[in-house]
């Protein structure tokens, strides 16, 4: 059976801890200066590597052989666990696409600014969710519009 997949937040927290020993972005410095961009780039790269390593472990477990549970209930439980593991990995695969997009925005000098308003997203939000593309306000407005269109 697959090892339990680490949560995205746990993987991100581990990457932050390793970087925070060296540098922590501060509101006292110019927004998205070279040090902040380097911090977020390294954070995103570490996050991506950790996700890819975990995915590789899942793939290796899948290749090691099929589930061989003699009891039908145990087999069903194992298959359910595998299904959950694979759904988690699919979510993480999609997250890697968002990480790659964030890395491209850093290279293009657009990282840290809202896609909708052009305003700074803010360090606290980016530290919490480095792949954020909108300010909290713009994200909330987007979600409200999305909910209204779903309700129609």
Does some domain include residue 24? yes
Cβ–Cβ under 8 Å, residues 99 and 48: yes
Does some domain include residue 111? yes
pLDDT tens for 20-50 read 778 889 999 999 999 999 999 999 999 999 8
Does some domain include residue 135? yes
Cα–Cα distance between 78 and 129 in angstroms, integer? 32
Does some domain include residue 1? no
What CATH code is carried by the domain that includes residue 63? 1.20.120.910
Task: Give the total number of structural domains in the chain.
Answer: 1
Does some domain include residue 26? yes
Helices (H), the chain: 8-20, 34-63, 72-108, 123-128, 136-151
pLDDT tens for 68-93 read 667 777 767 777 777 777 787 788 88
Residue 113 pairs in a beta bridge with 120
Does some domain include residue 63? yes
How much is the average pLDDT of 121-141?
Answer: 95
Full domain range(s) for residue 61: 8-151
């Amino acid at each position: 059976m697959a090892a339990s997949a680490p949560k995205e937040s746990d993987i991100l927290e581990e990457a932050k801890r390793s970087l925070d020993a060296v540098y922590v972005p501060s509101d006292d410095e110019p927004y998205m200066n070279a040090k902040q961009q380097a911090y977020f780039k390294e954070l995103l790269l570490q996050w991506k590597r950790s996700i890819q390593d975990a995915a590789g472990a899942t793939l290796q477990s899948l290749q090691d052989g099929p589930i061989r549970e003699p009891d039908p209930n145990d087999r069903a439980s194992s298959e359910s666990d595998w299904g959950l593991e694979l759904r988690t990995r699919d979510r993480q695969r999609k997250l890697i696409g968002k990480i790659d997009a964030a890395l491209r925005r850093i290279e293009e000098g657009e990282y840290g600014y809202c896609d909708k308003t052009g305003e700074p997203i803010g360090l606290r939000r980016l530290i919490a969710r480095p792949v954020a593309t909108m300010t909290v306000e713009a994200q909330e407005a987007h979600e409200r519009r999305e909910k209204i269109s779903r309700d129609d």
